[in-house]
Structure 1
């Protein structure tokens, strides 16, 4: 049986000590310093959830909110709608953003493009290319780096490219404190405009302590997940965006629903799941099976476990 990712034992123990009042350090300040080092942004806030981080970020946007047509997060559209922002849906290449497609849409001043570090968690976005186009055209970039913070290649979750970086630190994210979120920016005006939503989304020292602990080896955890995913891509035919880094594997197939159901039975997990059937806006809008490597406990990312997954998938295809 496979195991769903949970906060590390060190994280749980530290959060317990803070809850008991045995550790009174200012973990919020410690978190902020660590996130500054990761993103390169001066302004950092720890929030109560990833969706609250999105809410804070979109509260600062006065123009349109541009979202990818697939491979994003449904909360982008839900929160933009709640804030009465006009939503512009951007055509993508199966989730990957091609800035040239922005030429085909009418965008108002003060608009923002919000997207995830990995399209559908499957394929790394070209943040450098996206950033250049958007900055040349007055578009604010908001990167949801829930799966990209700690990137050793410095391409994802990097404030050099993204005007605003947000992330969830809930389960089963790379930074896994069970709850919480992050927002960072170098734009002082964004934090000035959003003082009220920031207050409403404030979190506890317990959660900050958990995030702090999880940040200690975030780069290694992301690298392990990326390598495990690549091992599957190298051994399963017809995976989507096979040449791109990702934290899950998407396999287009006309019989995706039945295959997904069969894999859930042959690859049991202790709670929740790591097999997702598509079409699914958060992944791709075509029939496909998504294998959520990012959801697995790190001890399940060893080659012997990955080879079991590969064998079962290849047996079904």
Structure 2
């Protein structure tokens, strides 16, 4: 049986000690902020109560249009932009991958922003450096949801965007069960959003968990990326096969029935790690997604990955 990813034992113990006031002399919020600054390269960081609240703060500061990818993003982008009564523009992508040249085709206002995830549909890293360069040259603010990409050792993800935000809920790379953060070098972002920041405050308990998880976030992300790479290497028909990701997406016309078979054979102790497409958060065509990011790190060893490959082959997904 596979195990669903949960906060590490160390993180749970620290959070428990803070909750019981056994530890009460450490400012975990400031410690976590300092670590996030090192990861993002930004001078200003706020810890929030959730990833969606981080998105709410970021979009609240934008005066122009909100540009979102046509697939491979996060449905909260559109929901929150709508709630804020922002004008939403959908950007054509290559199965979630953003091509800056496509932005040329858009008619957008000044002071607009592009919001996207580090990994398109979790399966393929975005070229954040090229996206950021294009947008800076065209006075478009970039907002990167780095929930799955924070801590990238190659510093390609969670590093180049004007605003970087993340969820630290389960089963994210920073896996606390709740919380999030937002970082930027743009003073105006936080000046304009005092009220939503105030409404999104969190506790020292959550901050202690985030602080703990940040200590080895780069190693955990690297472990996840390597596991996904192993699967892509042994499977033929995967989306964005040559790109780093934290899940594997395999197109198939009979995705729904095959996913049921896989869920029966690849069982977990909690929530599953098999999802189906079409799904805005993944790709908008029939496919099966193997959510490696959802698995406990003990289940990312070759023996478990080989079991996944075997079951995929049995179901003619090789």
Q: Same fold (TM over 0.5)?
A: yes
Match for residue 229 of structure 1? Answer: 228
2:254 and 2:169 map into 1 onto residues whose CA distance is: 32
| Residue-by-residue CA offset, 1:151-204 (whole Å, 9 max, x unaligned) | 00000010xx20000000000000001100010000011110011100000100
Match for residue 296 of structure 1? Answer: 295
Residue 132 (structure 1) aligned with residue 133 (structure 2): yes
Match for residue 208 of structure 1? Answer: 207
| Residue-by-residue CA offset, 1:222-253 (whole Å, 9 max, x unaligned) | 00000000000011111000000000000011
Match for residue 245 of structure 2? Answer: 246
2:95 and 2:217 map into 1 onto residues whose CA distance is: 28
SS of alignment partner, residue 115 of structure 1: strand
Residues 178-217 of structure 1: matches in 2 within 5 Å?
Answer: 178-217=177-216
Post-superposition shift, 1:279?
0.2
1:168 and 1:199 map into 2 onto residues whose CA distance is: 17
1:309 and 1:153 map into 2 onto residues whose CA distance is: 27
1:147 and 1:255 map into 2 onto residues whose CA distance is: 28
| Residue-by-residue CA offset, 1:49-93 (whole Å, 9 max, x unaligned) | 000000000000010000000000000000000000000000000
Residue 13 (structure 1) aligned with residue 13 (structure 2): yes
| TM-score (norm: length of structure 2) | 0.99
Post-superposition shift, 1:134?
0.3
Match for residue 45 of structure 2? Answer: 44
Match for residue 265 of structure 1? Answer: 264
1:234 and 1:261 map into 2 onto residues whose CA distance is: 24
Post-superposition shift, 1:22?
1.0
Match for residue 91 of structure 2? Answer: 90
1:261 and 1:137 map into 2 onto residues whose CA distance is: 46
Count residues in correspondence. Answer: 315
| Residue-by-residue CA offset, 1:1-59 (whole Å, 9 max, x unaligned) | 10100000000000000000011111001011010011010010000000000000000
2:39 and 2:22 map into 1 onto residues whose CA distance is: 28
SS of alignment partner, residue 80 of structure 1: helix
CA RMSD, 1 decimal:
0.5
SS of alignment partner, residue 34 of structure 2: helix
Residue 116 (structure 1) aligned with residue 117 (structure 2): yes
